[in-house]
Structure 1
Amino acid sequence: MMKSKLIAAFSFAALVFAAAPARAEEPKTIAGIVAGSKDHTILLELVKEAGLAETLSGKGEWTVFAPTDAAFKKIDADTLKKVKGDKELLKKILMAHAVKGTWVAADVVKLDGKEVETLQGTSFKITVKDKTVMVGDAKVTAADLKASNGVVHVIDTVLMPAK
Protein backbone atom coordinates (compact mmCIF):
# COMPACT_ATOMS: atom_id res chain seq x y z
CA MET A 1 0.00 0.00 0.00
CA MET A 2 2.78 2.40 0.97
CA LYS A 3 4.68 1.52 -2.18
CA SER A 4 1.70 2.35 -4.41
CA LYS A 5 1.18 5.71 -2.60
CA LEU A 6 4.85 6.53 -3.11
CA ILE A 7 4.63 5.64 -6.81
CA ALA A 8 1.46 7.71 -7.15
CA ALA A 9 3.16 10.68 -5.44
CA PHE A 10 6.19 10.48 -7.75
CA SER A 11 3.93 10.12 -10.79
CA PHE A 12 1.94 13.17 -9.74
CA ALA A 13 5.14 15.17 -9.16
CA ALA A 14 6.45 14.13 -12.59
CA LEU A 15 3.19 15.28 -14.21
CA VAL A 16 3.30 18.64 -12.41
CA PHE A 17 6.90 19.29 -13.51
CA ALA A 18 6.18 18.15 -17.06
CA ALA A 19 3.16 20.46 -17.30
CA ALA A 20 4.96 23.46 -15.77
CA PRO A 21 6.02 26.04 -18.34
CA ALA A 22 9.70 25.89 -19.19
CA ARG A 23 11.75 28.78 -17.93
CA ALA A 24 12.43 31.40 -20.54
CA GLU A 25 15.87 31.01 -22.05
CA GLU A 26 18.43 33.59 -21.08
CA PRO A 27 18.84 36.08 -23.92
CA LYS A 28 21.89 35.40 -26.06
CA THR A 29 24.87 37.69 -25.99
CA ILE A 30 25.82 39.70 -29.08
CA ALA A 31 28.43 37.03 -29.84
CA GLY A 32 25.73 34.35 -29.47
CA ILE A 33 23.43 36.14 -31.92
CA VAL A 34 26.23 36.45 -34.49
CA ALA A 35 27.30 32.82 -33.95
CA GLY A 36 23.71 31.65 -34.45
CA SER A 37 23.23 33.47 -37.75
CA LYS A 38 23.77 31.72 -41.09
CA ASP A 39 24.27 35.17 -42.68
CA HIS A 40 27.19 36.20 -40.46
CA THR A 41 29.75 33.40 -40.84
CA ILE A 42 32.46 35.75 -42.17
CA LEU A 43 31.84 38.26 -39.37
CA LEU A 44 32.01 35.47 -36.79
CA GLU A 45 35.30 34.21 -38.25
CA LEU A 46 36.80 37.72 -38.22
CA VAL A 47 35.58 38.46 -34.68
CA LYS A 48 37.28 35.26 -33.50
CA GLU A 49 40.48 36.07 -35.42
CA ALA A 50 40.57 39.54 -33.86
CA GLY A 51 40.06 38.09 -30.38
CA LEU A 52 36.83 40.04 -29.85
CA ALA A 53 34.43 37.11 -29.29
CA GLU A 54 34.98 37.23 -25.53
CA THR A 55 34.34 40.97 -25.46
CA LEU A 56 31.03 40.53 -27.32
CA SER A 57 30.08 37.76 -24.90
CA GLY A 58 30.91 39.77 -21.80
CA LYS A 59 29.21 42.34 -19.68
CA GLY A 60 28.58 45.77 -21.02
CA GLU A 61 26.09 47.42 -23.29
CA TRP A 62 26.83 47.72 -26.99
CA THR A 63 25.07 48.32 -30.24
CA VAL A 64 26.62 46.34 -33.07
CA PHE A 65 25.97 47.02 -36.74
CA ALA A 66 26.63 43.53 -38.11
CA PRO A 67 27.56 43.24 -41.80
CA THR A 68 26.29 40.11 -43.54
CA ASP A 69 28.41 37.68 -45.54
CA ALA A 70 27.08 39.41 -48.67
CA ALA A 71 28.42 42.72 -47.33
CA PHE A 72 31.89 41.24 -46.88
CA LYS A 73 31.74 39.76 -50.38
CA LYS A 74 31.38 43.31 -51.77
CA ILE A 75 34.99 43.90 -50.66
CA ASP A 76 37.56 42.78 -53.20
CA ALA A 77 39.42 39.58 -52.24
CA ASP A 78 42.85 41.25 -51.97
CA THR A 79 41.59 43.87 -49.51
CA LEU A 80 39.82 41.24 -47.42
CA LYS A 81 42.97 39.10 -47.39
CA LYS A 82 45.03 42.13 -46.28
CA VAL A 83 42.56 42.87 -43.48
CA LYS A 84 42.59 39.24 -42.29
CA GLY A 85 46.40 39.31 -42.22
CA ASP A 86 46.65 42.50 -40.13
CA LYS A 87 45.11 41.92 -36.69
CA GLU A 88 45.26 45.60 -35.70
CA LEU A 89 43.55 46.72 -38.92
CA LEU A 90 40.96 43.95 -38.48
CA LYS A 91 40.20 45.12 -34.91
CA LYS A 92 39.97 48.71 -36.14
CA ILE A 93 37.41 47.78 -38.80
CA LEU A 94 35.37 45.57 -36.47
CA MET A 95 35.34 48.21 -33.69
CA ALA A 96 33.97 50.67 -36.27
CA HIS A 97 30.80 48.55 -36.21
CA ALA A 98 30.14 48.99 -32.48
CA VAL A 99 28.74 51.86 -30.44
CA LYS A 100 28.71 52.11 -26.66
CA GLY A 101 25.25 51.69 -25.17
CA THR A 102 22.10 49.97 -26.36
CA TRP A 103 20.58 51.88 -29.27
CA VAL A 104 17.33 50.26 -30.38
CA ALA A 105 15.83 51.21 -33.75
CA ALA A 106 13.55 53.87 -32.21
CA ASP A 107 16.67 55.58 -30.77
CA VAL A 108 18.66 55.28 -34.01
CA VAL A 109 15.84 56.83 -36.07
CA LYS A 110 15.91 59.90 -33.77
CA LEU A 111 19.55 60.41 -34.78
CA ASP A 112 18.61 61.26 -38.38
CA GLY A 113 21.19 63.69 -39.73
CA LYS A 114 23.53 63.23 -36.75
CA GLU A 115 26.78 61.32 -36.44
CA VAL A 116 27.44 58.42 -34.08
CA GLU A 117 30.91 57.75 -32.78
CA THR A 118 32.01 54.12 -32.84
CA LEU A 119 34.23 52.35 -30.32
CA GLN A 120 37.03 52.70 -32.88
CA GLY A 121 36.69 56.49 -32.84
CA THR A 122 35.27 56.92 -36.34
CA SER A 123 31.92 58.64 -36.77
CA PHE A 124 29.21 57.64 -39.22
CA LYS A 125 26.21 59.75 -40.21
CA ILE A 126 22.74 58.30 -39.61
CA THR A 127 20.16 59.11 -42.27
CA VAL A 128 16.53 58.06 -42.39
CA LYS A 129 14.47 58.29 -45.57
CA ASP A 130 11.19 56.52 -46.31
CA LYS A 131 11.68 54.09 -43.40
CA THR A 132 15.18 53.20 -44.64
CA VAL A 133 17.91 53.71 -42.07
CA MET A 134 21.48 54.21 -43.25
CA VAL A 135 24.62 54.17 -41.13
CA GLY A 136 27.22 55.77 -43.36
CA ASP A 137 26.88 53.83 -46.63
CA ALA A 138 25.30 50.79 -44.96
CA LYS A 139 21.58 50.09 -45.04
CA VAL A 140 20.02 48.57 -41.93
CA THR A 141 18.23 45.43 -43.17
CA ALA A 142 17.15 44.01 -39.81
CA ALA A 143 16.93 45.81 -36.48
CA ASP A 144 16.58 45.20 -32.78
CA LEU A 145 18.07 41.73 -32.39
CA LYS A 146 18.13 42.06 -28.61
CA ALA A 147 20.99 40.51 -26.67
CA SER A 148 21.73 40.26 -22.97
CA ASN A 149 24.55 42.79 -23.45
CA GLY A 150 23.09 45.10 -26.09
CA VAL A 151 21.48 45.00 -29.50
CA VAL A 152 22.42 43.97 -33.04
CA HIS A 153 21.32 45.70 -36.23
CA VAL A 154 22.10 43.90 -39.50
CA ILE A 155 23.66 45.98 -42.27
CA ASP A 156 24.35 45.33 -45.96
CA THR A 157 27.76 47.02 -46.25
CA VAL A 158 30.99 46.87 -44.25
CA LEU A 159 31.74 50.19 -42.52
CA MET A 160 35.29 51.25 -43.30
CA PRO A 161 36.81 53.63 -40.75
CA ALA A 162 38.31 56.85 -42.05
CA LYS A 163 41.12 56.84 -39.52
Structure 2
Amino acid sequence: MRAGANLVSFVTIGVLVGCGVTLLLERSLSRVLLGVILIGNGVNLLIVFGGRSGAAPVVGASDEAAMSDALPQAMVLTAIVITFGFTAFLLAISYRSWYLSGDDEVPDDVEDREIVRRAAQREMSVADLAGEPPTADPQQVDAPAPPREEGPG
Protein backbone atom coordinates (compact mmCIF):
# COMPACT_ATOMS: atom_id res chain seq x y z
CA MET A 1 0.00 0.00 0.00
CA ARG A 2 2.89 2.34 0.77
CA ALA A 3 4.39 1.89 -2.71
CA GLY A 4 1.11 3.03 -4.30
CA ALA A 5 1.10 6.10 -2.07
CA ASN A 6 4.66 6.89 -3.11
CA LEU A 7 3.76 6.49 -6.78
CA VAL A 8 0.80 8.83 -6.48
CA SER A 9 2.82 11.39 -4.54
CA PHE A 10 5.71 11.30 -7.00
CA VAL A 11 3.37 11.61 -9.98
CA THR A 12 1.76 14.59 -8.24
CA ILE A 13 5.19 16.11 -7.64
CA GLY A 14 6.14 15.56 -11.28
CA VAL A 15 2.92 17.18 -12.51
CA LEU A 16 3.41 20.18 -10.20
CA VAL A 17 7.00 20.74 -11.27
CA GLY A 18 6.23 20.10 -14.96
CA CYS A 19 3.34 22.55 -15.00
CA GLY A 20 5.46 25.03 -13.05
CA VAL A 21 8.29 24.87 -15.58
CA THR A 22 5.82 25.26 -18.45
CA LEU A 23 4.31 28.33 -16.81
CA LEU A 24 7.76 29.70 -15.97
CA LEU A 25 8.63 29.83 -19.67
CA GLU A 26 5.70 32.13 -20.52
CA ARG A 27 6.09 35.86 -21.11
CA SER A 28 3.29 36.91 -18.77
CA LEU A 29 4.49 37.74 -15.25
CA SER A 30 1.32 36.35 -13.65
CA ARG A 31 1.99 32.96 -15.26
CA VAL A 32 5.63 33.13 -14.17
CA LEU A 33 4.38 33.78 -10.63
CA LEU A 34 2.10 30.74 -10.75
CA GLY A 35 4.98 28.67 -12.12
CA VAL A 36 7.24 29.68 -9.23
CA ILE A 37 4.53 28.77 -6.73
CA LEU A 38 3.93 25.36 -8.34
CA ILE A 39 7.64 24.55 -8.49
CA GLY A 40 8.08 25.59 -4.86
CA ASN A 41 5.21 23.39 -3.71
CA GLY A 42 6.46 20.48 -5.81
CA VAL A 43 9.96 20.70 -4.33
CA ASN A 44 8.54 20.93 -0.80
CA LEU A 45 6.51 17.77 -1.40
CA LEU A 46 9.60 16.07 -2.82
CA ILE A 47 11.54 16.83 0.35
CA VAL A 48 8.72 15.55 2.55
CA PHE A 49 7.91 12.40 0.54
CA GLY A 50 11.48 11.69 -0.51
CA GLY A 51 12.27 9.35 2.40
CA ARG A 52 12.57 5.59 2.45
CA SER A 53 9.48 3.60 1.59
CA GLY A 54 7.57 2.56 4.69
CA ALA A 55 9.39 4.95 7.04
CA ALA A 56 8.29 8.39 8.12
CA PRO A 57 10.52 11.08 6.62
CA VAL A 58 10.98 12.93 9.90
CA VAL A 59 11.04 10.30 12.67
CA GLY A 60 13.96 7.92 13.36
CA ALA A 61 13.90 4.67 11.35
CA SER A 62 13.24 1.91 13.91
CA ASP A 63 14.12 3.05 17.42
CA GLU A 64 11.30 4.95 19.10
CA ALA A 65 13.74 6.58 21.52
CA ALA A 66 15.74 8.09 18.66
CA MET A 67 15.34 11.81 18.13
CA SER A 68 13.48 12.96 15.08
CA ASP A 69 15.48 14.34 12.20
CA ALA A 70 14.77 18.06 12.00
CA LEU A 71 16.63 18.63 8.73
CA PRO A 72 13.68 17.91 6.36
CA GLN A 73 11.42 20.11 8.48
CA ALA A 74 13.95 22.93 8.48
CA MET A 75 14.53 22.65 4.74
CA VAL A 76 10.80 22.73 3.93
CA LEU A 77 10.21 25.65 6.28
CA THR A 78 13.12 27.55 4.73
CA ALA A 79 11.86 26.75 1.23
CA ILE A 80 8.38 28.00 2.15
CA VAL A 81 9.81 31.29 3.42
CA ILE A 82 12.02 31.74 0.34
CA THR A 83 9.13 30.93 -2.00
CA PHE A 84 6.90 33.39 -0.15
CA GLY A 85 9.52 36.15 -0.42
CA PHE A 86 10.11 35.48 -4.12
CA THR A 87 6.34 35.41 -4.70
CA ALA A 88 5.98 38.80 -3.01
CA PHE A 89 8.83 40.16 -5.16
CA LEU A 90 7.24 38.87 -8.38
CA LEU A 91 3.86 40.27 -7.31
CA ALA A 92 5.46 43.68 -6.84
CA ILE A 93 7.15 43.51 -10.24
CA SER A 94 3.95 42.32 -11.91
CA TYR A 95 1.90 45.09 -10.31
CA ARG A 96 4.47 47.72 -11.30
CA SER A 97 4.50 46.46 -14.88
CA TRP A 98 0.71 46.49 -15.02
CA TYR A 99 0.59 49.96 -13.46
CA LEU A 100 3.06 51.43 -15.97
CA SER A 101 1.96 49.70 -19.17
CA GLY A 102 -1.47 48.22 -18.45
CA ASP A 103 -0.08 44.76 -19.22
CA ASP A 104 2.04 42.24 -17.33
CA GLU A 105 3.69 40.76 -20.41
CA VAL A 106 7.45 41.11 -20.70
CA PRO A 107 8.30 42.97 -23.95
CA ASP A 108 11.05 41.91 -26.32
CA ASP A 109 14.39 43.57 -25.77
CA VAL A 110 16.86 44.70 -28.44
CA GLU A 111 18.66 41.34 -28.63
CA ASP A 112 15.40 39.39 -29.03
CA ARG A 113 14.30 41.60 -31.91
CA GLU A 114 17.71 41.26 -33.58
CA ILE A 115 17.63 37.46 -33.34
CA VAL A 116 14.11 37.36 -34.80
CA ARG A 117 15.14 39.70 -37.61
CA ARG A 118 18.24 37.68 -38.48
CA ALA A 119 16.35 34.39 -38.34
CA ALA A 120 13.70 35.78 -40.65
CA GLN A 121 16.41 36.78 -43.13
CA ARG A 122 18.08 33.39 -42.73
CA GLU A 123 21.33 34.99 -41.58
CA MET A 124 21.46 32.89 -38.43
CA SER A 125 23.92 30.00 -38.55
CA VAL A 126 25.32 27.58 -36.01
CA ALA A 127 28.50 29.66 -35.79
CA ASP A 128 26.45 32.74 -34.90
CA LEU A 129 24.60 30.88 -32.16
CA ALA A 130 27.86 29.61 -30.68
CA GLY A 131 29.33 33.12 -30.64
CA GLU A 132 31.99 32.24 -33.21
CA PRO A 133 32.64 34.42 -36.25
CA PRO A 134 31.21 33.00 -39.49
CA THR A 135 33.82 31.41 -41.75
CA ALA A 136 31.96 31.78 -45.06
CA ASP A 137 32.92 35.43 -45.60
CA PRO A 138 36.59 36.13 -44.72
CA GLN A 139 36.05 39.92 -44.82
CA GLN A 140 33.58 39.76 -41.94
CA VAL A 141 35.84 37.62 -39.72
CA ASP A 142 38.25 40.51 -39.03
CA ALA A 143 35.55 43.20 -38.95
CA PRO A 144 34.84 44.63 -35.50
CA ALA A 145 31.49 43.86 -33.97
CA PRO A 146 28.95 46.68 -34.04
CA PRO A 147 28.36 48.38 -30.69
CA ARG A 148 25.50 47.00 -28.62
CA GLU A 149 22.55 49.20 -27.92
CA GLU A 150 21.64 49.51 -24.28
CA GLY A 151 17.99 49.53 -23.32
CA PRO A 152 16.43 52.15 -21.06
CA GLY A 153 17.29 51.96 -17.38
TM range (shorter): under 0.3
Higher helix residue share: 2
TM-score w.r.t. length of structure 1: 0.25
Higher relative contact order (CA 8 A, sep 6+): 1
Max Rg structure: 2
TM-score w.r.t. length of structure 2: 0.26
